[in-house]
Amino acid sequence: MAIATTNPTTGEIIRTFTPLSSSEIQAKIAIAHQAFQDYKLIPLSQRAVWLHRAADILEAEKYRLGAIATLEMGKTLKSAIAEIEKCAVGCRYYAENSAKFLQDLAVPTQARQSFVRYQPLGIILAVMPWNFPYWQVFRFAAPTLMAGNVGLLKHASNVPQCAIAIAEIIEQAGFPMGTFQTLLIGAAQVEEIIRDPRVKAATLTGSEAAGQSLAAIAGHELKKTVLELGGSDPFIVLKTADLDLAIKTAVTARMINNGQSCIAAKRFILEEAIADEFETKLVTAYRQLKLGDPMQPDTDLGPLATFQIRAELDQQVQASIAQGAKLLIGGKFDPDQVGYFYPPTILTDIPKTSPAYTDEMFGPVASLFRVPNLDAAINLANDTPLGLGASAWTQDQKECDRLVDELEAGSVFINEMVKSDCSLPFGGTKRSGYGRELSMLGMHEFLNIKTVWIK
Ligand code: NAP
């Protein structure tokens, strides 16, 4: 994919960028390597000052930064601003908590003194997606920089101006030159970076194919990776649920980010007793959503991020219908209309072999399933190779206990939609990836966890 800003609301190419050459990549790695030698010695208290300053800049510039995201990938401006506010919260969280997360952990043994010490590794490569163009990066950058590592960012090719803005914020905040750099490069150039001995580890958020490619190369180089990949999260509604709240949340949980979130609710699994009411009310709620210019404050749903994403989503919808799925709303777009818009869509009666059952649908398409009871709900929820998040709605404690225990997912949210929270680990199981971001556990992924034994 060319590195370019293309406005998905109009299809207009706004600006193109020349990818870095191999020698330019080498020069950036050299700067990062040099920066690490000094940066790892800088006290945590100083790093925290800079990270608080980064939060100040994010807050002060949230309208300008938000408009860049809306321009490049089509999320509504109000959601872009909320994303930037969340980045500021993330920066402050790590500025305030890292000393606790990084302090030596005393472990009594037969030694006179034994403990665990957490030390930075060096250069960490982050390969990031466009869908939350700021948050995905800051949830990596804040703990990485606090831990004393330095970062290289290969952002998605359709959000280059967001990528540049992030590096500028970190520099303006006071972090020394070379501690965090954006590399404007294509996916094929990632291999050279992972193979460089100065680069110690890599994290990737994105598709399965990208994760497999990066992990294979890193595996060959014996380097640690964290992978945050796709999700086809269930949203289970049982007859004991607070139905109105579940329906209201179901709209946001599916439509957040124009339907392009890894942890969006994608498969709605409804206990038969409440299925009719849920379905009718969800159709009504989706009908009321306003599709349009994402810069406007009253728009609920902007365009999809690229022409290709819309084409793939529509292909999945049409293939599912061709196999027998029933369309309740949406499912058609006007190819002559400017912009990559796709309407809120609901499918039901979904065959087991159709894409709506087997694949992740990355757009505003809800798949509805009916089940007779809790056992069937759990079986269906787990009948996917993916295992990112799961949301379930019940007011019954026994049902709650079973859902928490039996759902195969990196997180389970009861009576709430799945979301990321700085103080809790975030990540998947099965083919949704491995490793964790956020919280203390996320920070520890890219550290040398050194055992110390003193006799
Ligand atoms: P993608 O194509 O995999 O792109 C993500 C990033 O990986 C981009 O920077 C991309 O660069 C790069 N990339 C692509 N192929 C690569 C390769 N072979 N080697 C190295 N880097 C490569 O992902 P997407 O389709 O745009 O994003 C949507 C997917 O991401 C969905 O499956 C979604 O669920 C998942 N996602 C997961 C999480 C999570 O936290 N688990 C969060 C957000 C999204 P280019 O842009 O240059 O191709």
pLDDT, tens digit, 9 for 90 and up, residues 95-117: 999 999 999 999 999 999 999 99
Q: Is the CB of 263 under 6 A from ligand 1?
A: no
In this structure, which residue's CA is closest to atom 46 in ligand 1? 156
- Mean pLDDT for the stretch of residues 193-198: 98
Which atom belonging to ligand 1 lies closest to the Cα atom of 432?
A: 41
Q: Is the CB of 163 under 6 A from ligand 1?
A: no
Q: Is the CB of 229 under 6 A from ligand 1?
A: yes
pLDDT at 77: 98
Residues 169, 64: contact at Cβ < 8 Å? no
In this structure, which residue's CA is closest to atom 48 in ligand 1? 187
Please report, rounded to a whole number, the percentage of residues in the chain having pLDDT higher than 90: 100
Residue in this structure with the two tokens 């020698």, named with its chain if needed:
23
Query: In this structure, which long-range contacts are made by residues 323-326, counting pairs with CB atoms below 8 Å and at least 24 apart in sequence?
Result: 323/351, 323/353, 323/354, 324/349, 324/351, 324/354, 325/349, 325/350, 325/351, 325/354, 325/356
Q: Is the CB of 348 under 6 A from ligand 1?
A: no
Which atom belonging to ligand 1 lies closest to the Cα atom of 426?
A: 40
- Mean pLDDT for the stretch of residues 385-414: 98
Q: Is the CB of 360 under 6 A from ligand 1?
A: yes
Backbone angles phi, psi at 439, to 5 degrees: 60, -170
Residues identified as active-site: 228, 262
User: Considering only CA atoms, which of 140, 163, 147, 150 is closest in space to residue 30?
Assistant: 150
In this structure, which residue's CA is closest to atom 37 in ligand 1? 229
Q: Share the mean pLDDT of the chain.
A: 98
- Mean pLDDT for the stretch of residues 120-145: 98
**Residue 318 — very low, low, confident or very high, per pLDDT cuts 50/70/90?**
very high
pLDDT at 211: 98
**Residue 1 — very low, low, confident or very high, per pLDDT cuts 50/70/90?**
confident
Over 90: is that where the pLDDT of 6 sits? yes
Q: Classify residue 43 as exposed, middle or buried by CB count within 10 Å of its CB (0-12, 13-18, 19+).
A: exposed
pLDDT in tens, 47-97: 999 999 999 999 999 999 999 999 999 999 999 999 999 999 999 999 999
pLDDT in tens, 28-43: 999 999 999 999 999 9
SS3 letters for the chain?
CCCEEEECCCCEEEEECCCCCHHHHHHHHHHHHHHHHHHCCCCHHHHHHHHHHHHHHHHHCHHHHHHHHHHHHCCCHHHHHHHHHHHHHHHHHHHHHHHHHHCCEECCCCCCEEEEEEEECCEEEEECCCCCCCHHHHHHHHHHHHCCCEEEEECCCCCHHHHHHHHHHHHHCCCCCCCEEECCCCHHHHHHHHHCCCEEEEEEECCHHHHHHHHHHHHHCCCEEEEECCCCEEEEECCCCCHHHHHHHHHHHHHHHHHCCCCCEEEEEEEHHHHHHHHHHHHHHHHCCCECCCCCCCCCECCCCCHHHHHHHHHHHHHHHHCCCEEEECCCCCCCCCCCCCCCEEEECCCCCCHHHHCCCCCCEEEEEEECCHHHHHHHHHCCCEECEEEEECCCHHHHHHHHHHCCCCEEEECCCCCCCCCCCECCEECCEECCECHHHHHHCCEEEEEEEEC
pLDDT at 23: 98
Residues 146, 47: contact at Cβ < 8 Å? yes
Residue among 205, 420, 430 whose CB has most ligand 1 atoms within 8 A, to mutate: 205
In this structure, which residue's CA is closest to atom 30 in ligand 1? 206
- Mean pLDDT for the stretch of residues 169-188: 98
Q: Is the CB of 190 under 6 A from ligand 1?
A: yes
pLDDT in tens, 293-310: 999 999 999 999 999 999
Backbone angles phi, psi at 169, to 5 degrees: -60, -45
Please report, rounded to a whole number, the percentage of residues in the chain having pLDDT higher than 70: 100
**Residue 203 — very low, low, confident or very high, per pLDDT cuts 50/70/90?**
very high
Over 90: is that where the pLDDT of 347 sits? yes
pLDDT at 260: 98
Residue among 140, 212, 262, 340 whose CB has most ligand 1 atoms within 8 A, to mutate: 262
Residue among 140, 204, 207 whose CB has most ligand 1 atoms within 8 A, to mutate: 207
- Mean pLDDT for the stretch of residues 246-274: 98
| Single-letter residue type at 7 | N
pLDDT in tens, 222-249: 999 999 999 999 999 999 999 999 999 9
- Mean pLDDT for the stretch of residues 342-347: 98
Burial 137-156 (b: 16+ CB within 10 A, else e): bbbbbbbbbbbbbbbbbbbb
Over 90: is that where the pLDDT of 7 sits? yes
Q: Which two tokens stand for residue 231?
A: 């999700």
Q: Which domains does the chain have, with CATH numbers?
A: 4-229+432-454 (3.40.605.10), 233-414 (3.40.309.10)
Burial 438-455 (b: 16+ CB within 10 A, else e): bbbebbbbbbeeeeeeee
What is the radius of gyration, based on Cα positions, of the chain?
Answer: 23
Residue 258 CA to ligand 1 center (angstroms) comes to 17
